[in-house]
A and B are shown apart, each in its own frame.
Chain A
Amino acid sequence: GNSVTQMEGPVTLSEEAFLTINCTYTATGYPSLFWYVQYPGEGLQLLLKATKADDKGSNKGFEATYRKETTSFHLEKGSVQVSDSAVYFCALANSGNTPLVFGKGTRLSVIA
């Protein structure tokens, strides 16, 4: 079946540090991959996505590249800000009436 494994946190970084949150997946066929972000007290919102191999999703300085050979979709940002403090979820969507599948989430705290 479809599954997502992401690195567990919490992750604490100083402002302007480099961020990597690892995400790997298991799926048949050609899934789409997503990163969602959840700010305190809110629902999830889409951060970025990639729908085919070698695609790079990007938004708000965050990037992730769909690597089929390593079944990975790692999230990166070159210089984090305090406002990036949130929980980040990697997710996978596949065809065939299957539901959206989420990783367990990684809590990021950025300190000034």
Chain B
Amino acid sequence: NAGVTQTPKFRILKIGQSMTLQCTQDMNHNYMYWYRQDPGMGLKLIYYSVGAGITDKGEVPNGYNVSRSTTEDFPLRLELAAPSQTSVYFCASSYSPPGTEAFFGQGTRLTVV
């Protein structure tokens, strides 16, 4: 029972570098989400997807890009990393709302120096 798998778990980036955070789920969920959680703070929605080929911006999309070419995968791309992107990133998935539970990955802790 893999659920939602995020890689890597930890990463240190230098300012201006780029990277892709991987997220895959094996539950055939149509909804997928990316959130960031700054230290001591709540969750902020970056992007979400309601199905393969469909993505939409959340609350804090600037500096990020996503794609959803398959049901299973929802990678998050950081271009030109900045210190403000230091955070813990969580991927989640669910069946169509409203009554369904969202399942979360274990998170990726990213530090930009």
8 Å CB interface, B67-83 against A: none
Q: Which residues of A contact B40 (CB under 8 A)?
A: 107
Known: A102-B43, A104-B41, A105-B43. A45 touches B104 (CB 8 A): yes
8 Å CB interface, A69-111 against B: 89, 91, 93-95, 97-105, 107
What interface size band does chain A fall in?
A: 20 to 34
B45-67: CB near A (< 8 Å → 1, else 0) gives 10010100000101000000000
Candidates B41, B48, B107; contact of A43 at CB < 8 Å: B107
Residue with the highest number of chain A CB atoms closer than 10 Å, among B31, B35, B43: B43
Is A25 part of the contact surface with B, judged by Cβ < 8 Å? no
Candidates A100, A103, A107; contact of B97 at CB < 8 Å: A100
Q: Which residues of A contact B35 (CB under 8 A)?
A: 102
8 Å CB interface, A36-77 against B: 36, 42-46, 49, 51
Residues on B facing A (Cβ under 8 Å): 4, 31, 33, 35, 40-43, 45, 48, 50, 56, 58, 90, 92, 94, 96-102, 104-107
8 contacts between A and B (CB under 8 A): A43-B104, A44-B102, A51-B98, A97-B56, A99-B45, A100-B97, A102-B42, A103-B42
Residues on A facing B (Cβ under 8 Å): 30-32, 34, 36, 42-46, 49, 51, 89, 91, 93-95, 97-105, 107
